Amino acid sequence: MPVTRFSSPVLGLMEVSARGGDCRLIASPDRAARESLFSQPQILPTGEILMTTMSVSDDVDAASVEILSADRTARRRILKGARNARLLPSGHLVFVRGSSIIATRYDLSEQTPSPHEVTMVEGVALDSLGHPTFDVSNTGTLVFWTANDVRGNRALVWSDRRGQRVDSGAPLRSYQPEPSLSPDGDRVAVAAGDANHFLWLFSFRQNTLEPLWLDREPLAGLEP
């Protein structure tokens, strides 16, 4: 029966049947070892072996790529200082180390990556949680943001179902992905900035952009 695996930031790696039902915990971070989060789980082609990224508290570069045995009783690190690995049908393993996207061959019989690595892209941007902003398709098509893309000023626009874009009226800023629109469609909350990703609120009706959250602390008088 098909099973969905996903990562819970609180509990760890979970799985649930495609028919629904209760979620089952299959692996938890070792908090004593400063492990903080599993992410980007992928079932490998041979059996039920699962590959995932293990993040370490307060140190993005200390992350590692690990594999979990089919019975989920054993974990093994296959890449140190790497994260967001994806195995492609071609047999190539694509992952991020530092701010570079790297590819190498992967031996499925030994469950081991080749030491011969090729840097594909340098200067990939990280989001506010330290995750690389890239993805790769099963056919090898790679999409990514560079650090320059994230730091540059961007516009907030409306887009209709035909792909036509209309300027929202908001000033240019270094807006971050995934703005959140209010239910009435009049306001949008969006992060803008570099180090702290300050949270701002833009009103379409009043054409005003006001700060909601600065330096990771809410402004005085702001209610949750």
* pLDDT of 174 over the 90 cut: no
Q: pLDDT per residue over 33-78, tens digit each?
A: 888 888 888 989 876 789 999 988 777 778 999 999 888 888 999 9
pLDDT of amino acid 112: 94
The whole-number average pLDDT for the span 162-175 is 80
| Alpha-helix residue ranges (DSSP H) falling in the chain | 147-151
pLDDT of amino acid 219: 36
Question: Quick one: which of 41, 49, 43, 117 has its CA closest to 79?
Answer: 117
What is the pLDDT confidence band of residue 223, given thresholds at 50, 70 and 90?
very low
Which residues pair with residue 198 across a beta bridge? 192
Rounded CA separation 137/89 (Å): 10
Rounded CA separation 96/32 (Å): 26
The mean predicted confidence, pLDDT, of the chain is: 81
- The residue type at 211: P
Range with lowest mean pLDDT among 30-34, 137-141, 195-199: 195-199
